[in-house]
Structure 1
Amino acid sequence: MMRKLFVLALISTSLSASVPLTTVAEEIASPGTDDRASPVFGVTLPPGYRDWQFISVAHEAGNNNDIRGILGNDIAMKALKEGTLPFPDGSIIVRLAYEYVPSERNNAIFGREQSFVAGAPTNVQIEVKDSKRYASTGGWGYGQFENGKANPSLKIVNSCFACHAKLPAAADFVFTTFSK
């Protein structure tokens, strides 16, 4: 019995070694793979995204009133630094959003309210470039996540491209530019 199990394991390992590896962008943009995937686009949180390079920061006033850190994978960063648009397939941009709050500690030192910092996290938004898979949305697939879980709202995910589509085509539907 043990010999049969060993042979089966060896065959399984050999077969899996011959299967082509997928790219990270393909792995995080596979609709219906699990409940961690965003509806519509199937985008998931990319492994190691918190270690990606810094693109820029943004403060969104109004209803959101948040502060955002924007990060990019190596493909997106290369395109941004070289000014290559449209972004190549495999580009991934991550936006980390936090409550925009005054820093009591810093303001006590300054003697007035002038320092603002990231408070509690609100969400993470991901956009993945795959010009074939997401042709109807300018080549980008979207996802929003709270506490590490995909927001299941079709309304929220479908509204992503509606805003991005308002940008000039020359921006490749991306709000953020590289801060040097």
Structure 2
Amino acid sequence: MKHLSTCALALASLSFGVSAVVTAQRPKDEGSPIYGVKLPQGYRDWRLISVAHEAGKNNDIRAILGNDIAVKAFRDGKRPFPDGAVIVRLAWRYESSPRNDSVFPAPQSFVAGPPTNVQVSVKDSKRYAASGGWGYGQFENGVANRDVALTQSCFACHSKLNALEKGADLIFTAYSR
């Protein structure tokens, strides 16, 4: 019995040690550079705002989701968005589907392929005043991309939209009714 207790204690110690090493090796998610934006809990269960296809270099298909605050603002046409609105864009490679096309008379089916990234926009007019009230983050495989230049490009691109369309509040997506 004493031997069994010793073995159990040794196994528990070994498990704790391995767990500590694995945890130490896992990258700590500090959020995005500049803004500190993190992936919101449960975002994949949020409501769909719209979908989009971006051709060219990105060649992706996107689902744009929002938390309750963002969805209400989209539905009500409220601009600027209220603080607390969070918009998440999930992207996948845009691929033809030979499987689906095999049942159609001509190639016509396109589907979401491998995931590329998740982008997050968080509205906080005080915290992100220098970037029009929005904080940005981009994530690959659940981890924030730490590229500062990439993160800076978010606001630079979104601000071009505001120059073209007054009242857009730096948001490309229109609500799909």
2:58 and 2:136 mapped to 1: Cα distance?
19
- 1:110 and 2:104 are equivalent in the alignment: yes
Q: What CA distance in whole angstroms lies between the structure 2 residues aligned with 1:57 and 1:86?
A: 21
Query: Equivalent residue of 2:167, what SS?
Result: helix
1:101 aligned residue (81, 95, 107) = 95
What amino acid maps onto 1:127 in structure 2? S
**CA 1:86/1:79 → structure 2, altered by over 3 Å: closer, same or farther?**
same
Does residue 1:54 correspond to 2:54, yes or no?
no
Runs of 4 or more, structure 1, over 4 Å off, are: none
Q: How far has the Cα of 1:96 moved from its partner?
A: 0.1
Q: Determine if the alignment matches structure 1 residue 145 to structure 2 residue 142.
A: no
1:90 and 1:109 map into 2 onto residues whose CA distance is 45
Aligned residue-pair number: 147
Q: TM-score, normalised by structure 1?
A: 0.80
Provide the residue aligned with 2:15 in structure 1: none
Q: TM-score, normalised by structure 2?
A: 0.81
1:144 Cα deviation after fit: 0.2
Show structure 2 runs of 5+ residues with no match. Answer: 1-27
**Structure 2: distance between partners of 1:47 and 1:162:** 27
Residue equivalent to 1:178? 175
Q: CA deviation at 1:104?
A: 1.2
Q: Does 2:70 correspond to 1:73?
A: no
Report SS of the residue matched to 1:94. Answer: strand
**Which blocks of at least 5 consecutive residues in structure 1 are unaligned?**
1-33
Report the equivalent of 2:19: none
Q: 1:38 deviation in Å?
A: 0.7
- Distance in 1 (alpha carbons) for counterparts of 2:105 and 2:118: 33
Residues 1-180 of structure 1 aligned to structure 2 (within 5 Å) = 35-167=29-161, 168-180=165-177
